[in-house]
Structure 1
Amino acid sequence: MPVMRIIRRSCLVGMLALLIAGVVLPAPVIGAPANRVTATADGLRLDGRPWWPSGLDAYQLATDWSINTGCGAMVDLDSYFAALAPHSLTRFDLFAQLAVNKYTGALDFAPMDAVFAAAARHDQMVIPVLAAGEGACESGRFKDHGWYATGWRTEIGAGGLTFEQWMRTAVRRWKNSPALAGWEMVGEPETSICGDTSCGWQSRICPPDAALVLRSFFDNAGAVLHRVHRSGLIWAGLAGGGQCGTAGPQYEYVGGSRHLGVLDYHDYGSDGVPLPGDQWNGLAERIRQGAVLGKPVAVNEIGQSAGSCASAAQRAADFRTKVTGQRAAGTATALFWAFVPDPRPDQCTYDIGPDDPAFDLVADLTTVGP
């Protein structure tokens, strides 16, 4: 994913943006009940019934080139959601950058409103991700140790908003959507210190207090979110593979934040293997740690290349083998990375296009109990 730099603006601009968000662009009144999705030690529930969802990561759903700078190609929302089995789960980017009208600079929620409305029309559920740890499709700046310590409250980003201000704005606006499965505050958070201006992973330093700072972020930012949406479900967004701040037992310590309802694991590089990773940071260990905490573990990114290097059918077969084993071991979801409306069959990519057999697999896997 691309990397850019967070744009700092004055606090005055931030206050003006909030005024716009609260007065000029009021949140829509939605009469649907909130908190349709809940989490227990045994897994997820939808409307009080056991729910084991599969689905896709479709990060670019809020792209609208007539309004925002976008993140990838535009998606026909009704076609996308209609192609999924009912009660499937989609994870997408709900970044402040995508709420800025590229012509006026003002906040414009129309592309995001359209995603929630289309999902609701087709009886689908979504997880909006409010920011990217790597800064992809935002400013491109890696969110480092300092950001999780204080920057989420002080650094001005897109729309003249801090992350805290954007989180409050987004949660207040969409908390009652019937399509909402909960909130992911940051995708793949990692509390490293940048070793140089590029902040490439090779130069990052993991400080001794990395886990403490990340746990403090979830405690404090989670408290802010829950003051706006009291019982809203928060998904951790953790990659789970031993990243800075969540390596080994730190994953359990950070996941113990009382504001986190669902833990995460992202699965790449082990095609067809149900439980990848080692004894310290593998999926089996994450499932064990989740059980200790009484929280389900969601595998919310499963990526395998296809196109010029393998057939989509073979990838779907490998996905099925992998998820069958993961589900038997106790996971709570399986989301496949990533849907794009314009797949590149002549290249070796993670692209999942509109006609990919992964859609049939999602339908087979998704269940809602009695």
Structure 2
Amino acid sequence: MTRRRWAALILVVLFGVVACDTGTSERTVTPTARVQATADGLTLDGSPWWPAGLNAYQLATDWSVNHGCGAEVDLDSFFASLPDASLTRFNAFHWLAIDKKTGALDFTGIDAVFRAAEAHRQVLIPVLAAQDGACGDEIFKTSNWYAGDWKTVAPGSVLSYQDWVTTAVRRWRDSPSLAMWELIGEPEPLLPDRTCTPQAASLLRAFVDEVGGSVRALDGEHPITLGTIGGGQCGTAGEDYAYVGASPALDVLQYHDYGADGVPLPGDRYNGLAVHLQQARGLGKPLLVAEIGQSAGAGCGSVGDRARDVANKLDGQREAGTAGALLWAFVPDPRPAECTYDIGPDDPLRQVLRERNGTR
């Protein structure tokens, strides 16, 4: 992207923020989204793209304003440390846009993430909610939530999930750093006793159709994704994965990869990555491995061994036809004396990502 084009898009962002702050809901300018989803994978600025990036869930933490989610991050340093056009997935939850002292909406934390990413020409996946309520209202989302409670305001919240999605899309849809919208991380429509209802797949599909459709109506440019784990969870097990993934409101499918260190294509023939890749091809949609987690630290292997395992995994997944990979998870304060998923600023995994991020 040329400097002139980037400057023009920054002006669009600033104009869009002013319009939102004054209560305007109509779109006045719609830039072409930098990231597009195709049957063959993702593209960035019109070129085939295989992002190898990071989950950095705590980026919007600002302890002076919001409830926070993990440690504060020096955003300029973080984005400056990434390869060009890297992809970062972060929490953009409603509770991270609430002033913890006044209870009023305050977008300071999330706005800062977008501004820093824009300044460094990086791209983002904002995750709009989490299944377990972590770093938010701490309310586990049951089948009742998917059946309609998402339209009501939870205790301690300012907006319903429905209204938060609308607010977020209107506020950040014109950012040149927006890659795609993620409706919810790791959805699973369980009953209150944590058992699976037979209607789970239909509940989840109806939810995705409606919420994704509302996002599409506000932003017809950017792809939409859903944070499915892909390991046989309630609502997305077996063929249900393709049933939910077939929603016209979804453009990018996901898989989350844990517990199979060094194995490129984990899982069984019903819910493994290989079968989900086949399902994605059948739907003509790319599949992003949006979380890859391997522990390192005292008692569970060195960061060097982890880097070699993850390198093998990424190479195998790319060869198999995935659309990219994001590692779990960057933290500014890694704990080497413990066994964790922490990926710090100097972790050798950072070099693995630099060598693999880029065009297909």
Q: TM-score, normalised by structure 2?
A: 0.91
Seen in structure 2, the aligned counterparts of structure 1 residues 23 and 157 have a Cα distance that, compared at 3 Å, is farther
Q: 1:331 aligns with which of 310, 314, 322?
A: 322
Q: Identify the residue that residue 179 of structure 1 maps to in structure 2.
A: 177
3-state DSSP of counterpart to 1:164: helix
Distance 2:357 2:187 in 1: 27
**1:33-70 CA deviation, whole Å, 9 max, x = no partner?**
34211101100011111010010100000000111110
Q: Which residue type is aligned with residue 206 of structure 1?
A: C
3-state DSSP of counterpart to 2:288: strand
Q: 2:186 aligns with which of 165, 173, 188?
A: 188
**1:11-54 CA deviation, whole Å, 9 max, x = no partner?**
xxxxxxxxxx9656889x99783421110110001111101001
Confirm or deny that 1:161 pairs with 2:159: yes
Distance 1:35 1:343 in 2: 34
Q: Identify the residue that residue 131 of structure 2 maps to in structure 1.
A: 133
Q: 1:147 aligns with which of 123, 134, 145?
A: 145
Confirm or deny that 1:285 pairs with 2:275: yes
Which stretches in structure 1 are left out of the alignment for 5+ residues?
1-20, 196-203
CA contact (8 A) 1:344 1:351 kept: yes
Equivalent residues in 2 for 1:97-246, closer than 5 Å: 97-156=95-154, 158-195=156-193, 204-246=194-236
Distance 2:227 2:201 in 1: 15
Distance 1:294 1:142 in 2: 32
Distance 1:345 1:34 in 2: 43
3-state DSSP of counterpart to 2:327: strand
Q: Which structure 1 residue ranges, 4+ long, deviate > 3 Å from structure 2?
A: 21-27, 29-32, 155-159
Seen in structure 2, the aligned counterparts of structure 1 residues 240 and 187 have a Cα distance that, compared at 3 Å, is same
CA contact (8 A) 1:32 1:178 kept: no
Q: Identify the residue that residue 348 of structure 2 maps to in structure 1.
A: 357
Q: How many residues align?
A: 340
3-state DSSP of counterpart to 1:351: coil
Q: How far apart are 1:105 and its partner, in Å? A: 1.4
Distance 2:39 2:177 in 1: 23
CA contact (8 A) 1:238 1:266 kept: yes
3-state DSSP of counterpart to 2:227: coil
Q: Identify the residue that residue 368 of structure 1 maps to in structure 2.
A: 359
Q: 2:306 aligns with which of 292, 315, 327?
A: 315
Q: How far apart are 1:262 and its partner, in Å? A: 0.3
3-state DSSP of counterpart to 2:330: coil
Distance 1:345 1:25 in 2: 47
Q: 1:346 aligns with which of 332, 337, 345?
A: 337
Seen in structure 2, the aligned counterparts of structure 1 residues 32 and 84 have a Cα distance that, compared at 3 Å, is farther
3-state DSSP of counterpart to 1:146: helix
Distance 2:349 2:179 in 1: 21
Mean CA deviation greater in 336-345 or 102-111: 102-111
CA contact (8 A) 1:138 1:158 kept: no
Q: Identify the residue that residue 261 of structure 1 maps to in structure 2.
A: 251
**1:99-122 CA deviation, whole Å, 9 max, x = no partner?**
011122111111111101111111
RMSD: 1.8
Seen in structure 2, the aligned counterparts of structure 1 residues 324 and 109 have a Cα distance that, compared at 3 Å, is same
Q: TM-score, normalised by structure 1?
A: 0.89
Q: How far apart are 1:232 and its partner, in Å? A: 2.3
3-state DSSP of counterpart to 2:290: strand
Seen in structure 2, the aligned counterparts of structure 1 residues 345 and 26 have a Cα distance that, compared at 3 Å, is farther
Q: How far apart are 1:231 and its partner, in Å? A: 2.8
Seen in structure 2, the aligned counterparts of structure 1 residues 360 and 144 have a Cα distance that, compared at 3 Å, is same
CA contact (8 A) 1:54 1:333 kept: yes
3-state DSSP of counterpart to 1:348: coil
Which stretches in structure 2 are left out of the alignment for 5+ residues?
1-18
Q: Identify the residue that residue 81 of structure 2 maps to in structure 1.
A: 83
Q: Which residue type is aligned with residue 281 of structure 2?
A: A
3-state DSSP of counterpart to 1:349: coil
% identical aligned pairs = 56
3-state DSSP of counterpart to 1:194: coil
